[in-house]
Amino acid sequence: MAGCAWAERVLQLLRRMNGFCSSGSSRSQCFPFEIDGVQVGWVPPHVASQLKSYPEVFSVFPGGAVFLSPSLDSYTRRSEAVDAVLQNFRKQGSFHCLKGWRDEKYSVMARFCDPPLMWMERAATSLFGVTRYGVHINAYTVSASGEVSMWLARRSPTKQTYPGLLDNMAAGGLAAGVGIQHTAVKECAEEACVPAELAQKALPVSTVSYTYEDEEGVFAESQFVFDLELPQEFRPAIGDGEVQEFYLLPIREVQDLLATDDFKPNSAMVVLDFLIRHSFIHPDTEPFYQEFVTGLHQQL
């Protein structure tokens, strides 16, 4: 793909994935979500109007914020009270996103370094705009002549989100109370049948952060990125059924694919980060180098 056309498509991807930070977003209409005086998310107006039915849990102030009741003064009390509300929403069919209920608990805090204030069902996080964290693994090989190739996964056509699109070899959400490296090793084993002794060689190298919105809510996400150099003779295998096929592709072909609609958007960002860190994209030859770097590390 021609350089200018490729760069423009990549910039469009980054703008879309950071859409909540743009001037034309719904951010000015959203309610800050606060727990114990700390903002942890953004509640869209259509969600805030439903929360008013649960005054013992939520206080919703017009033109202000959504507060969790001060009487919910512990991690457990907050988590259980909010979960009961969400279970009611789920039974009532109030929000489409809750049809994807996963029974996965995600930690809620203002910053990753802060103690969690509560946990929340993964499928509900977009209703409150709380940051959800995940782990993505760039798996690659280096030939004797120094040529780099990357393993990509084709997502199963039955996946709830982005079915059939290209993805990193392995990735997954970071559940409450579970370590980052542990999650990386687990996802490698479950999705690609990578033995633990090999997956443990994955190196934490970066984070990729972004916030976008759609009709379901606000998606604030931050991915812990790992690089894993695999032996040339190793072949990932389908594990838990979330992947239908794996491909080993030359890095230049992977780079071209980033500008197509065939890639899961946040995984394309993780690969873009890899290309920048390994100098396949260079500031002397890519005029939008700085825009790329900034777009991969947006913070609200």
What percentage of residues in the chain have a pLDDT greater than 90? 92
Q: What's the pLDDT band for 299 if we cut at 50, 70, 90?
A: confident
Q: Tell me the one-letter amino acid at 152.
A: L
**Greater model confidence, 3 or 278:** 278
Residue ranges of the domains in the chain? 3-21+132-295, 27-130
Q: What CATH topology corresponds to 27-130? A: Transcription Regulator spoIIAA (3.30.750)
pLDDT at position 179 over 90: yes
Residue 32 has pLDDT above 60, yes or no: yes
What pLDDT, in 10s, does the model give residues 230-242?
A: 999 999 999 988 8
Q: What is the mean pLDDT of residues 113-141?
A: 97
Give per-residue pLDDT as tens, 161-175.
899 999 999 999 999
Is the pLDDT reported for residue 204 higher than 90? yes
* DSSP single-letter state for residue 207: E
Query: Is the pLDDT reported for residue 52 higher than 70?
Result: yes
**What does the angle CA 18 – CA 5 – CA 226 come to, to the nearest 5 degrees?**
50
Helix (H/G/I), strand (E/B), else coil: 263 = strand
Buried b / exposed e over 271-287, threshold 16 CB at 10 Å, is: bbbbbbeeeebeeeebe
3-state helix, strand and coil shares in percent for the chain, rounded to the nearest 5: 35, 30, 35
- For residue 107, the one-letter residue type is S
Structure tokens at 290: 């700085």
Q: Is the pLDDT of residue 63 over 80?
A: no
Q: Looking at residues 121-142, what average pLDDT do you find?
A: 97
Indicate the pLDDT class of residue 19, thresholds 50, 70 and 90: very high
Do residues 162 and 219 lie in contact, with contact meaning Cβ atoms separated by under 8 Å? no
The yes-or-no verdict on residue 98 having pLDDT over 90 is yes
Prediction pTM value: 0.94
For tokens 């969400």, name the residue: 86
Mean of the per-residue pLDDT values of the chain: 95
Residue pointed to by tokens 């993505």: 136
Residue 1 confidence (pLDDT) above 80: no
Domain 3-21+132-295 classification at class level: alpha beta
Secondary structure (DSSP) of 142-156? E-TT--EEEEEEEEP
Average pLDDT over residues 97-123: 96
Tokens of 180: 């980052």
Average pLDDT, stretch 5-24? Answer: 95
Asked if pLDDT for residue 35 goes beyond 90, the answer is yes
On the question of pLDDT at 117 being above 60, the answer is: yes
pLDDT at position 156: 94
Give 140's strand partners: 150, 229
pLDDT range class, residue 2, cuts 50, 70, 90: low
Is residue 75 predicted with pLDDT exceeding 80? yes
Instruction: Tell me the pLDDT tens digit for each residue of 251-298.
Output: 999 999 999 999 999 999 999 999 999 999 999 999 999 999 999 999
Pure H helices in the chain: 3-17, 45-51, 75-92, 125-128, 180-192, 196-199, 251-257, 265-277, 289-295
- Inter-residue contact 144 to 137 (CB < 8 Å): no
Q: Sign of torsion, CA 282 250 135 21?
A: positive
